[in-house]
């Protein structure tokens, strides 16, 4: 009997714990892909027994339920309608799945990326220029060069170089509020609050001390009246608090008063919390960390420097590095030089090398366009673009940069590398170490090469990681666990809904007739391999039917027989036809290529069109698929395998389009 799509959708919806448990729903050519909020709510037996389902498995954070081509579209439509669920693309479902799988630490890292990536262009531009201007100013004041700075041309560049960093908290406040779902303009106001001229500039605290305090609780608690220039975490926390308050006020404040009550209360309440609690906590943390650093620097064999070189970049994330000037000034006063600045320089160079490796290795043009200038900025001593925009965003490059920085700092400590002043690191830091230039260059090389090498080995584009996740042994084992009866039914899955129903009826009763024997030829030039070698478990297990797979070496797909096109995926990645002899064939170009949204596919036919054997069906940009880190292998599946006694692959190795590959009889 024909499958009731509404019943099928309702059964799977009930089995997974209802619509409230669905984070995202999408489908590809053969399976329903669900991202769930709580896997413990899933009734696995009910999923296994759901009407029309040919099997299921968990991979890449998704519950994937196999229905077959044509059938899955209709079950999906009913599923969306019954649950009042927002439809999602497969790419969006993967993104949601990835987000669900992140632990709290990785979610926090992603949040920082969401905050900083939009403002990276501003701080990259300022960072590069700030490094250049700092070096020019140092060389001018120390007699290396002579500059005329008393003119508009120089002064305008000087203004541009420090503007983004002077008002960084405003940029962060706007972006962080947007990331948390608050009004970004209120976030900008919070940023302005933390660097308000009414507060002592934080950059002067190291040299002038705290100028003013205010009592909160007489005799018990007072706060330092200082700003948060250079600090990152306080404004991010402020934006989170702002979003928490604002969202709840929008729910309870009457609409007539919402426009002025909600912003006023949100900003005022957040200001009190941040100024009275969040800010002072960071002041306490900074003082504790500075004391610990001074202790570490006294450890023998450069071990303390190794630790601090590795931990320097994480302290940049908090903004604590702004306080390190006190270490430089204290050492210069005591020894005439600072041993701390070379450590900081090594840490910056390590992050620069790590970001450069991402720029070299990535195939993503957007990531490369961000990573390359960020690494150049870091080589000049301004690491925020590299840390927040690239390395911390992908985690492993950040760790690689920390290791490079630690080893470079350890070498600097062992050889006694010292700087005659402070304020310049990276490439131009050598100007402060002209009494030990060789040692500085060796430190530079160690930090840069180790950071680059480890990052290059560890970093992978998201598409590479996703492909590996889709093809884990766990996914294959789960698919192999699909029951034999389910696989038998799966062979009845058809390329169209009507054909699927007919095939299912044939499985559930004695078929009146068998399809005519025939030989299927290759639709594409390449190398034939057994279906069992395909990395996708659904195809490898032949749950959709028997067949063979081709690794293509030419981007042209031809009709393997005379017949009618009955399926053409909107994203172009799959073509199905019913031959004049009654054989139903599905050609699936690549694995997970549905996420490419049709970019590498140029179809030359449409559904319902009758084609002749050898007719060009589609042009395929194989290079684009490979560049996205995806597999181009093309399964050729006989989806009505149940109509035949045998589906026998008859090719192995190189094949040309038109060569016999499958015999059915």
Q: Which of 28, 231, 471, 573 is catalytic?
A: 28
Angle between helices 396-414 and 340-361 (to 10 degrees): 140
Report the distance separating Cα 663 and Cα 665, nearest Å: 7
Task: Identify the three-state secondary structure at position 30.
Answer: coil
- What number of CA atoms fall less than 13 Å from residue 208's CA on the CB side? 10
In sequence order, the β-bridge partners of residue 65 are 32, 56
Report the distance separating Cα 389 and Cα 325, nearest Å: 25
- What number of CA atoms fall less than 13 Å from residue 615's CA on the CB side? 16
CB 9 within 8 A of CB 82: yes
CB 95 within 8 A of CB 595: no
Residue 613 makes CB contacts below 8 A (sequence gap 6+) with 521, 558, 559, 560, 561, 562, 658
Residue 28 annotated in active site:
yes
DSSP string, 617-645: EEEE-HHHHHHTT----EEEEETTGGGSS
Write phi, then psi, for 499 (nearest 5 degrees). Answer: -65, -35
DSSP string, 147-178: ---SSHHHHHHHHHHHHHHHTHHHHHHHHHHH
CB 605 within 8 A of CB 515: no
**Eight-class DSSP state of 390:** I
Alpha carbon 276 to its chain centroid, in Å, reads 36
**Eight-class DSSP state of 275:** I
User: Tokens 């590479």 sit at which residue?
Assistant: 464
Q: Which of 231, 471, 573, 588 is catalytic?
A: 588
Report the distance separating Cα 563 and Cα 580, nearest Å: 5
State how far the alpha carbon of 31 is from the alpha carbons of 35, 74, 487, 550, 613, in Å. 13, 11, 14, 22, 29
Residue 104 makes CB contacts below 8 A (sequence gap 6+) with none
CB burial class (10 A; 0-12, 13-18, 19+) of residue 564? middle
State how far the alpha carbon of 197 is from the alpha carbons of 166, 167, 205, 475, 488, in Å. 12, 12, 14, 58, 75
What residues are annotated to the active site? 28, 588
């Amino acid at each position: 009997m024909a499958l009731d799509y509404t019943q099928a959708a309702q059964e799977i919806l009930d089995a997974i714990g209802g619509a409230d448990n669905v984070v995202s729903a999408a489908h590809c050519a053969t399976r329903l892909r669900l991202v769930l909020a709580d896997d413990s709510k899933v009734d696995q037996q009910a999923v296994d027994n759901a009407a029309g389902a040919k099997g299921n498995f968990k991979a890449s954070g998704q519950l994937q339920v196999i229905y077959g081509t044509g059938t899955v579209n209709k079950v999906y439509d009913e599923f969306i309608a019954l649950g009042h669920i927002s439809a999602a693309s497969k790419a969006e479902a993967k993104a949601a799945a990835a987000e669900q799988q992140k632990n709290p630490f990785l979610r926090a890292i992603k949040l920082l990326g969401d905050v900083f990536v939009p403002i990276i262009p501003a701080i990259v531009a300022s960072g590069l220029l700030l490094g250049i201007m700092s070096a020019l100013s140092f060389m001018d004041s120390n007699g290396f060069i002579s500059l005329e700075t008393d003119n508009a041309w120089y002064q305008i560049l000087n203004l541009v170089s420090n503007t983004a960093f002077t008002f960084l908290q405003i940029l962060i406040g706007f972006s962080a509020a947007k990331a948390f779902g608050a009004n970004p303009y209120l976030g900008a106001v919070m940023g302005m609050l933390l660097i308000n001229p009414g507060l002592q500039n934080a950059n002067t605290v190291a040299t002038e001390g705290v100028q003013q305090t205010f009592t909160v609780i007489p005799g018990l608690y007072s706060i330092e009246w200082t700003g948060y220039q250079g600090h990152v975490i306080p404004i991010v926390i402020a934006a989170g608090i702002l979003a928490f308050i604002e969202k709840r006020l929008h729910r309870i404040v009457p609409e007539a008063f919402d426009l002025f009550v909600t912003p006023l209360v949100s900003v005022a309440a957040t200001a009190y919390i941040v100024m009275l609690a969040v800010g002072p906590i960071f002041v306490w943390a900074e003082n504790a960390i500075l004391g610990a650093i001074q202790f570490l620097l006294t450890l023998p064999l450069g071990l303390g420097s190794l630790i601090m070189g590795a931990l320097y970049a994480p302290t940049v994330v908090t903004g604590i590095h702004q306080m390190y000037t006190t270490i430089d000034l204290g050492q210069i006063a005591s020894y005439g030089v600072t041993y701390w600045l070379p450590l900081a320089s090594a840490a910056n160079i390590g992050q620069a090398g790590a970001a450069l490796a991402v720029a070299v290795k990535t195939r993503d043009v957007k990531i490369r366009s961000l990573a390359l200038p960020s690494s150049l900025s870091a080589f000049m001593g301004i690491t925020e673009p590299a840390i927040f925009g690239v390395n911390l965003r992908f985690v492993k490059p950040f760790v690689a940069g920390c290791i490079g920085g630690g080893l470079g700092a350890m070498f600097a400590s062992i050889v006694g590398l010292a700087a005659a002043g402070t304020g310049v690191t990276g490439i131009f830091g050598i100007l402060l170490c002209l009494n030990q230039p060789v040692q500085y260059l060796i430190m530079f090389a160690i930090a840069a090469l180790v950071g680059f090498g480890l990052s290059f080995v560890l970093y992978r584009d998201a598409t590479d990681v996703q492909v590996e996740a889709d093809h884990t042994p766990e996914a294959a084992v789960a698919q192999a666990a699909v029951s034999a009866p389910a696989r038998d039914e799966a062979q009845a899955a058809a390329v169209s809904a009507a054909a699927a129903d007919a095939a299912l009826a044939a499985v559930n009763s004695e078929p009146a007739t068998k399809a005519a024997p025939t030989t299927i030829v290759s639709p594409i030039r390449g190398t034939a391999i057994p279906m069992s070698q395909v990395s996708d478990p659904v195809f490898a297990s032949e749950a959709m039917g028997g067949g063979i797979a081709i690794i293509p070496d030419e981007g042209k797909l031809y009709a393997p027989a005379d017949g009618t096109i009955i399926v053409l995926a909107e994203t172009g990645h799959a073509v199905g036809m019913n031959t004049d002899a009654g054989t139903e064939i599905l050609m699936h170009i690549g694995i997970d290529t549905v996420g490419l949204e049709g970019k590498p596919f140029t179809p030359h036919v449409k559904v319902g069109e009758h084609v002749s054997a050898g007719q060009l069906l589609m042009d395929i940009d194989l290079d684009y698929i490979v560049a996205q880190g995806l597999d181009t292998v093309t399964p050729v599946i006989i989806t009505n395998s149940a109509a035949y006694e045998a589906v026998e692959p008859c090719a192995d190795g190189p094949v040309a389009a038109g060569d016999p590959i499958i015999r059915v009889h």
